[in-house]
Amino acid sequence: MFEANSLAVIFVALMGFSILLYAILDGFDLGVGILLPLSQKDDSDTMIASIGPFWDANETWLVLAIGLLLIAFPSAHSHIFKELYLPTAVLLISLVLRGVAFDFRAKAAFSHKPTWNKVFKVGSLLAAMSQGYMLGMYVMSFEDSLAAYAFSLLSALGVAAAYAYIGACWLIMKTEGALQVQAVRWAKQAGLICFIGIVAVSAVNPLINPDVFAKWFAWPTTLYILPLPLLCFALFVYSLLELKKLPAINDKGCWRPFVAAVVIFTLCFFGLAFSFFPYIVPGKLTIWETAAAPESLSFLLWGVIIVVPVIFSYTVFSYRVFWGKVRELRYY
């Protein structure tokens, strides 16, 4: 039916795709959470309304990504998450806290709302940072060294900034007036930190991993892969120029920074994926060594082929229903 080696490639591609979609989609709603101001009540309601109908579905991509790792590469799953046991626990607890805070803040007694707002913000920040920390440890091959921890902490800040950046761009697109002006400011600040973070990771990654260095600087591959960082740089410049024009008359181009951020996320993801493929545990295990039985993967692949297009169509439907500037979030 499907050949074992290509099944592993198909499933790692699917998993990578889910991770990328997760980073973009939950990235913007975690980012909005990180940016949530604790003093101005009205803004916090609008900001949360902008992500209300989506966050749940966005988080499902994480379940799919981790699920695919568990299903298709079970030994890699246990290897990676045993190494990252405590950061994973922090991530999960943060996701739980922020998810429930979203609902409690609107439904609990009115006096508790500021508390749940805080929980939402801190939960979003910790979730983003633990993901960044896990990414850092992964890049550093789970090394038990001071350098690895320092790098991972840097990566934690970088990912939080990246999420805040895409979150701010989302808000620019979904809001108007004073909040939009504020979101433009946020996007500029977070974008700068995000940019520095990407440069740092791109520099450190090949320097500490000889394999990664060899991959990026092997002639003629360099020729094909070099446009990737250059394009990324150009997009940051473009994004900055666009942000300077905002807010514009008739809200012209309010969606451009968000699209730029999505493309930046995608390019960074491909950069990382290119660095490590075909290893799924850096330097230790390849996708072929860890793949599950082909009969199991084939069975699941049929489901993927049929169901994923359907998921796409109703995801698009849901985003279209809530298209345009955010309105007050009501159950009616």
Partner 1 sequence: MLETLMLSRIQFAANISFHILFPAITIALSWFLFFFKLRFDQTGEPVWMRAYRFWVKIFALTFAIGVVTGITMSFQFGTNWPKFMETVGNIAGPLLGYEVLTAFFLEAGFLGVMLFGIKRVSARVHTLSTLIVAIGTTLSAFWILALNSWMHTPQGHEMRDGVAFPVDWLAIIFNPSFPYRLSHMVIASGLTAAFLIAGISAYRLLKGDDKQAPKLTLKIALTVAMVLTPVQIFLGDLHGLNTLEHQPQKIAAMEGIWHTEKGAPLLLFAIPDEEQRTNHFEIAIPKMASFILTHDFDGEIKGLNEFEGNHPPVAPVFFAFRIMVGIGMLMLTVSWFSRIQLWRDKPLPTWLLRVLVAMSFSGWVATLAGWYVTEIGRQPWLVTGILTVKDAATTIASGNVALSLAMYLTLYAVLMTAYLHTLFTMARRAVEIEEITDDEKVKPVLHTTIQTAIAHSANQSPNTKENDNV
Among 16, 67, 114, 206, interactor with partner 1 by CB under 8 A: 67
Kindly state whether residue 206 participates in binding partner 1, applying the rule CB under 8 A: no
φ/ψ of residue 281, rounded to 5: -110, 110
Whether 260 and 194 have beta carbons less than 8 Å apart is answered as no
| Count of residues engaged in binding partner 1, rule: CB under 8 A | 63
Min. distance of Cβ 117 from partner 1 in angstroms? 14
Radius of gyration of the chain from its Cα atoms, rounded to whole angstroms: 20
DSSP letter string over 32-63? HHHH--SS-HHHHHHHHHHHTTTHHHHHHHHH
Give the rounded distance of the alpha carbon of 218 from its chain centre: 29
Q: Which stretch binds partner 1 (CB under 8 A): 139-147, 181-189, 274-282, 287-295?
A: 287-295
Among 9, 10, 75, 149, interactor with partner 1 by CB under 8 A: 75
Within residues 5-64, the interface with partner 1 by CB under 8 A covers 52-54, 56-57, 59-60, 62-64
Within residues 143-202, the interface with partner 1 by CB under 8 A covers none
Q: Which helix (H) or strand (E) holds 40?
A: none
Among 10, 228, 273, 300, interactor with partner 1 by CB under 8 A: 300
Kindly state whether residue 332 participates in binding partner 1, applying the rule CB under 8 A: yes
The Cα 75–Cα 309 span in angstroms is 29
Kindly state whether residue 299 participates in binding partner 1, applying the rule CB under 8 A: yes
The Cα 5–Cα 330 span in angstroms is 50
Kindly state whether residue 321 participates in binding partner 1, applying the rule CB under 8 A: yes
Min. distance of Cβ 109 from partner 1 in angstroms? 5
Residue 206 corresponds to which tokens in the numbers above?
Answer: 């090949």
Kindly state whether residue 271 participates in binding partner 1, applying the rule CB under 8 A: no
Angle at 302 between CA 296 and CA 306, to 5 degrees: 150
Min. distance of Cβ 167 from partner 1 in angstroms? 18
Among 40, 88, 141, 266, interactor with partner 1 by CB under 8 A: 88
Whether 222 and 216 have beta carbons less than 8 Å apart is answered as yes
Q: Which residue in the block uniquely carries the two structure tokens 């940019």?
A: 195
Within residues 94-113, the interface with partner 1 by CB under 8 A covers 95-97, 99-100, 102-104, 107-109
Among 78, 189, 221, 222, interactor with partner 1 by CB under 8 A: 78
The most distant pair of C-alpha atoms in the chain lies apart, rounded to whole Å, by 64
Among 20, 47, 66, 272, interactor with partner 1 by CB under 8 A: 66
Residue 176 corresponds to which tokens in the numbers above?
Answer: 């108007």
Among 77, 121, 174, 256, interactor with partner 1 by CB under 8 A: 77
Residue number with CB closer to partner 1 (17 or 322): 322
In this structure, what DSSP letter does residue 248 have?
Answer: P
Sign of the CA dihedral with 297 first, then 299, 305, and 309 last: negative
Residue number with CB closer to partner 1 (78 or 189): 78
- End-to-end Cα distance, the chain: 49
Coil, strand, or helix at residue 286?
strand
Q: Please give the residue ranges that form the binding site for partner 1 (CB under 8 A).
A: 52-54, 56-57, 59-60, 62-64, 66-72, 74-75, 77-78, 80-82, 85-86, 88-89, 92-93, 95-97, 99-100, 102-104, 107-109, 292-293, 295-297, 299-300, 303-304, 307-308, 311, 314-315, 317-318, 321-322, 329-332
